[in-house]
Structure 1
Amino acid sequence: MDITLTAKQQIFPDEKQVQTFKDTMNTYTRALNFVSEWIFNHNFNLKQFSIHKEIYHTVRETFSLKSQLTQNAIRDVIARYKAVETQLKSKGGQLEHLWYPLNFKTPQLTLTRDRDYSFLKTGQVSINTNNKREKVDITFKNREHFLEGHKLGEAKLITKNGRWFLYISATKEYPEFQKEKVQHVVGIDRGLRFLATTFDEKGNSHFINGKEILAKRRHFKKLRQSLQKKNTKSAKRRIRKIGQRENRWMTDVNHRLSKALVDYYGPNTLFVLEDLTDVRFATEKHHKDSRYEAVSWAFYQFEQHLAYKSRMNQSEVLKVDAHYTSQRCPKCGTIDKENRLSREHAFFCKNCAYKSNDDRVAAINIQQLGTEWISGTKRPCYTKVEIN
């Protein structure tokens, strides 16, 4: 199994090189928009060969791009349209429903390994531009690890807040997950009060408290609200910075949480999560002061982090049907929405009087579905039986 990560490495161009990079990135971005408009006006043709045949020379001559950069621009636009196409299909739409061509606003540059960028023996990196190749210093963290254990692919040249970075894709092959070797089956219930509640095959539960996380998110929310009332240009800039800072912080939270789980349980672990695809977090079920936190937490990002970290550790993430996992009694199997006492964060079975924490009960039920999958059930789920 191949897993691709992105290595973010800072580079240090001088003033002249900065201007060269900016000029090349701006030209490349204009080329992206040219290709995007062509695709929009030609029935969303996404076949690279035919697009290359039709407009490759036009793009090169119009924007004075080098050969490889021209091909990269065409590939980038096709990839963006295909991503949008996938999103639209999931919602019952098509590319034909787009009113305007996809627009590329942020200056960027895609570089092909060894053709557009390469590492030098001096420790520098050589980067291709419209004028010539520029040699710049780079802080390549874990250089030996990536160069020996990973196959480096394309890189993105990015500038943020006056600093310059290369985002380098790095692919490495890992052993396939083998469920016959599973040692741990861990059910994970995700939430706000507890970021994650776990239950494993030994009956052990862990609660990862989310109170501090909620408090910080509400702090960010209040800052935005106070700035929105001012409605000035400086306030709007500040709002954007706050949003970016909150996103970075949330990403770090999900990164540390997923890493802690993978390290704690070790290899050959099956982590079981509810499949939250198309699940709607109804705002009317939450107090207005807590609606933002309830509907905007990055559950999917946590899932992504846990998935790739697990695969790198010979483990796997399984998504199971989310229906009734919070209503089912794990002892007698009775499903009743009255079993869960949400306000008290408790669970009380109306049939057998089993009591426990509601998040823990959900984790138990999720873990049991994972155990069924290990035993051979392809799509384990809970079904409510109606009694006449």
Structure 2
Amino acid sequence: MQQGLTLKLKIKPNDTEANQLRVMQLAYTKACDYVSSYHFEHHFTLSRRQLHDALYRRLRRDFQLKSQLAESVLITVLARYKTVQTLMARKPYRYKDSYTGKWYQVRRDLAWLRQPVRFKRLQVDLVWNRDWRFLKNGQISLNTLDKPIKVDGALHYFDRYMHQGWKLGTAKLLQIGRKWYLHIGATKELPDFNRSQMRHVVGLDRGLRFLTTAYDELDQTSFANGKAILRKRRKFKQLRQELQAKGTKSAKRRLKRIGQRENRWMADVNHQITKTLAETYGTGAVFALEDLAGVRFATERMAKDHRYEAVSWSFFDFEQKLAYKTTLRGGTVVKVSADYTSQRCPKCGSINKTNRDHERHHYRCAVCGYQSNDDRIGAMNIQQLGTLWASGETHPKFERLTAVE
């Protein structure tokens, strides 16, 4: 299988070089907006070749882009629309029939867009060995709209990727504050996961009170407490409400910065938790997660005051980080059915939703009397589904066969 990573490389241009990079970013972003509008006006029917034939010369003339940058603009725009289409398909439009009271959903596509996608953040996509490359003296060569420049970079940790079979690809040039970065795509061929080399099966229950509850085959349980995180998220929420109430330009600018800061903080928390899990269980670990597709629909029916806490954490980002870190260590992440994982007794297998006390976060089986923390119960059931997958079942799930009325 092919594993991909995004490597972040800090570069150090001087003031003149930084100005050259900024001019290139501005031209590239404006070109992306132009191509996006053209693609929107033609109802998303044009292929890359058709866009090239129609716009290539104009991109070179009007935006002063070099040949490879003009091609990269087309690739960037089409990739962004592909991403938007994927995200829209994941969340269909839902509506309630006023006569029957039934809920229906309609799959959305790009035709639902009312305006073209805008490229607000300044960026440039640079192709490896065409627009950027490493020099023998340790510097980095970067193309600009004028002539290439040579900049220093923090390369102290790059050796592990440059000499261990990783293939470098397109780099995205970004400015964050006053610092400049290259976000470099890297890929490597890794062997497919072999179940015969499996050493651990870990069930992970994700939630709000505990971001993760991990349970393994040795009956060991670990919790990632979410109380402090929940308090911080509520502070972000309160601060945003205060700034939105002001409505001034400075408040809006600060509101944007706060949103970016919260996203970085959430990503860092997910990074720390997934790194700890991957390092704790090491080689050959199987992490079983509930398939949470569609769970957002349920949380949107919650009370408005609690909706933010229920839907704002990036569980998808958590999955992605855990997946690549586990794969690099010779393990894998599997998704299992979420049906009855919080209602089923992991000891006797009986299913009864009244066994779970949501207020006390406690579970007590009415049949065998087994009791424990409700998040731990969920992790135990998920771990059992992961064990079934490891034994050869493709789509393990619990059936309501022994329900207690």
Scaled by the length of structure 2, the TM-score of the pair is: 0.90
Mapping of residues 181-330 of structure 1, within 5 Å: 181-280=197-296, 281-282=298-299, 285=302, 288=305, 290-330=306-346
**C-alpha spacing 1:359/1:387, structure 2 compared with 1 (3 Å):** closer
Q: How many percent identity over aligned positions?
A: 47
2:355 to 319, 323, 339: 339
d(CA) in 2 for partners of 1:333 and 1:245? 44
Q: For residue 263 of structure 1, report the CA deviation from its aligned partner.
A: 0.7
d(CA) in 1 for partners of 2:193 and 2:46? 34
| C-alpha distance after superposition, 1:127-183 (max 9, x if no partner) | 111111111222224122222122110111111212211111122222221112211
**C-alpha spacing 1:267/1:194, structure 2 compared with 1 (3 Å):** same
**C-alpha spacing 1:54/1:122, structure 2 compared with 1 (3 Å):** same
The residue type paired with residue 74 of structure 2 is I
**C-alpha spacing 1:47/1:141, structure 2 compared with 1 (3 Å):** farther
**C-alpha spacing 1:192/1:97, structure 2 compared with 1 (3 Å):** closer
The residue type paired with residue 138 of structure 2 is G
**C-alpha spacing 1:53/1:236, structure 2 compared with 1 (3 Å):** closer
> Counterpart of 2:389?
373
d(CA) in 1 for partners of 2:201 and 2:319? 16
Tell whether the 8 Å contact from 1:45 to 1:51 is kept in structure 2 after alignment: no
The residue type paired with residue 75 of structure 1 is I
Q: For residue 89 of structure 1, report the CA deviation from its aligned partner.
A: 2.9
d(CA) in 1 for partners of 2:383 and 2:295? 20
d(CA) in 1 for partners of 2:72 and 2:55? 13
d(CA) in 1 for partners of 2:312 and 2:368? 36
d(CA) in 2 for partners of 1:57 and 1:233? 39
Aligned with 1:38: secondary structure? Answer: helix
> Counterpart of 1:94?
109
Tell whether the 8 Å contact from 2:352 to 2:404 is kept in structure 1 after alignment: no
Tell whether the 8 Å contact from 1:46 to 1:78 is kept in structure 2 after alignment: no
Whether 2:179 is the aligned partner of 1:176: answer no
Q: For residue 310 of structure 1, report the CA deviation from its aligned partner.
A: 0.5
**C-alpha spacing 1:279/1:159, structure 2 compared with 1 (3 Å):** same
d(CA) in 2 for partners of 1:206 and 1:160? 36
Aligned with 2:239: secondary structure? Answer: helix
d(CA) in 2 for partners of 1:282 and 1:37? 35
Aligned with 1:272: secondary structure? Answer: strand
> Counterpart of 2:399?
383
**C-alpha spacing 1:86/1:358, structure 2 compared with 1 (3 Å):** same
Aligned with 2:87: secondary structure? Answer: helix
Query: Aligned Cα RMSD in Å?
Result: 1.9
> Counterpart of 2:155?
140
d(CA) in 1 for partners of 2:271 and 2:61? 45
Q: For residue 284 of structure 1, report the CA deviation from its aligned partner.
A: 5.3
> Counterpart of 1:113?
128
Whether 2:61 is the aligned partner of 1:49: answer no
Mapping of residues 353-368 of structure 1, within 5 Å: 353-368=369-384
**C-alpha spacing 1:13/1:234, structure 2 compared with 1 (3 Å):** same
The residue type paired with residue 338 of structure 1 is T
d(CA) in 1 for partners of 2:69 and 2:299? 46
Tell whether the 8 Å contact from 1:125 to 1:137 is kept in structure 2 after alignment: yes
Tell whether the 8 Å contact from 1:321 to 1:381 is kept in structure 2 after alignment: yes
Paired residues, number: 387
Scaled by the length of structure 1, the TM-score of the pair is: 0.94
Q: For residue 231 of structure 1, report the CA deviation from its aligned partner.
A: 3.0
d(CA) in 1 for partners of 2:262 and 2:64? 40
> Counterpart of 2:95?
none
> Counterpart of 1:3?
3
| C-alpha distance after superposition, 1:234-263 (max 9, x if no partner) | 222222222222221111111010011111
Tell whether the 8 Å contact from 1:9 to 1:141 is kept in structure 2 after alignment: no
Whether 2:134 is the aligned partner of 1:157: answer no
| C-alpha distance after superposition, 1:302-325 (max 9, x if no partner) | 111111100000000011111110
Aligned with 1:82: secondary structure? Answer: helix
> Counterpart of 2:104?
none
Tell whether the 8 Å contact from 2:351 to 2:404 is kept in structure 1 after alignment: no
Q: Which deviates more, 312-321 or 81-90?
A: 81-90
Instruction: Structure 2: give runs of 5+ residues left out of the alignment.
Output: 93-106
d(CA) in 1 for partners of 2:117 and 2:282? 43
Q: For residue 357 of structure 1, report the CA deviation from its aligned partner.
A: 1.1
> Counterpart of 1:71?
71
Q: For residue 115 of structure 1, report the CA deviation from its aligned partner.
A: 0.8
Q: For residue 374 of structure 1, report the CA deviation from its aligned partner.
A: 1.5
Aligned with 2:345: secondary structure? Answer: coil
d(CA) in 2 for partners of 1:78 and 1:144? 33
d(CA) in 1 for partners of 2:304 and 2:68? 54
d(CA) in 2 for partners of 1:98 and 1:230? 30
Any runs of at least 4 consecutive aligned residues in structure 1 with deviations exceeding 4 A, and if so which? 283-287
Instruction: Structure 1: give runs of 5+ residues left out of the alignment.
Output: none
Q: For residue 286 of structure 1, report the CA deviation from its aligned partner.
A: 5.8
d(CA) in 1 for partners of 2:235 and 2:116? 38
> Counterpart of 1:13?
13
> Counterpart of 2:100?
none
d(CA) in 1 for partners of 2:60 and 2:279? 50
> Counterpart of 2:102?
none
d(CA) in 2 for partners of 1:220 and 1:105? 23
Q: For residue 370 of structure 1, report the CA deviation from its aligned partner.
A: 0.8
